Amino acid sequence: MDIENTIRSRKSVRNYESEPIDGDLRKSIEDAISESWSPFGGSISIRLKSFPPKESFKPGTYGVIRGASDFLLMAMAPDDTASAITAGFRMEQVVLQATRLGLGTCWIAGTFKESDFGKGEDWPDGQELKIISPVGIPKMAETMVGKLARFLIGSDRRQPFEKMFFENDKSTPISTSNRFAESLAMMRLAPSSTNSQPWRAIAENDGTIHFFSAKKGLIHIIDCGIGLCHFILTEQSLGHDGAFKKLTDPECGPVDGWIYITSYRREIW
């Protein structure tokens, strides 16, 4: 499955078959973890942990996740922006690989018992467990709790493209013929905490694009890392070998209420 179809077919799954993932599927997820990369630095770890169905212990998700036996655990250096961008950027690569394999996932930052999932795990460099995601075979139908979560969070609603992405300044909506339109369209489909969709961008005429978060807080920096992952994987699939760079003084200047994350060019910086 190509990247755009993978991104379009991913959605959070909260109800799973109890069948554990093993053999080639498991190896493919483990490979995706070890091959995941980030240009943003920081300190994070991703692990795949099993809670075999025949053992009676079930880690707590406050009833949000049903049936899953395997979980991705992501630990990161607390209160560190670089780690938060990398956390989103790398973990989403694993999520997309799971999607390609036909497996379900659901990023979880709030509704899990840290003591259940983190038991026996020793994290390097003072990292702390911040995110988990079930990974497994989706059940055909969502549970009532899963349906209610989607409804309450408004998971199926995405903000309009032209209210998120701009040209030259914050008041000119980006044209759908802009060179970055396709990659931004894929950024817009990323998962985000409480579906907050904080990704914002301003494209300059010189081919540079600046990325921002419209919301404050580390969780939204993780969201931005996820969106940037969708953006760069789409760029790469279109044959562009560009790079991110955090500028000290982006040409568009600071934007009221937005937090500057990074910039990107297809040409050499």
Ligand X SMILES: Cc1cc2nc3c(=O)[nH]c(=O)nc-3n(C[C@H](O)[C@H](O)[C@H](O)COP(=O)(O)O)c2cc1C
Q: Which is nearer to ligand X, 101 or 243 (CB)?
A: 101
Q: How many whole angstroms separate alpha carbon 227 and alpha carbon 192? A: 8
Q: Which is nearer to ligand X, 226 or 252 (CB)?
A: 226
Rounded least distance, CB 252 to ligand X, Å: 26
Residues making contact with ligand X (CB under 6 A) = 11-12, 64, 106-111, 149, 153, 155, 191-195, 219, 222-223, 226
What are the Cα distances from residue 134, in Å, to 9, 72, 265?
17, 6, 35
Q: How many whole angstroms separate alpha carbon 18 and alpha carbon 37? A: 30
Rounded least distance, CB 81 to ligand X, Å: 15
Q: How many whole angstroms separate alpha carbon 238 and alpha carbon 226? A: 19
Q: Which is nearer to ligand X, 92 or 167 (CB)?
A: 92
Nearest to 39 by CA among 86, 92, 6, 76: 86
Rounded least distance, CB 88 to ligand X, Å: 7
Comparing every residue's Cβ against ligand X, the nearest one is: 191
Rounded least distance, CB 73 to ligand X, Å: 14
DSSP three-state, residue 33 = helix
Instruction: Output the six-digit token pair for 7.
Output: 């991104």
Q: How many whole angstroms separate alpha carbon 83 and alpha carbon 102? A: 28
Rounded least distance, CB 50 to ligand X, Å: 21
Q: Which is nearer to ligand X, 105 or 262 (CB)?
A: 105
Q: Which is nearer to ligand X, 210 or 230 (CB)?
A: 230
Say if residues 145 and 14 touch (Cβ distance below 8 Å). yes
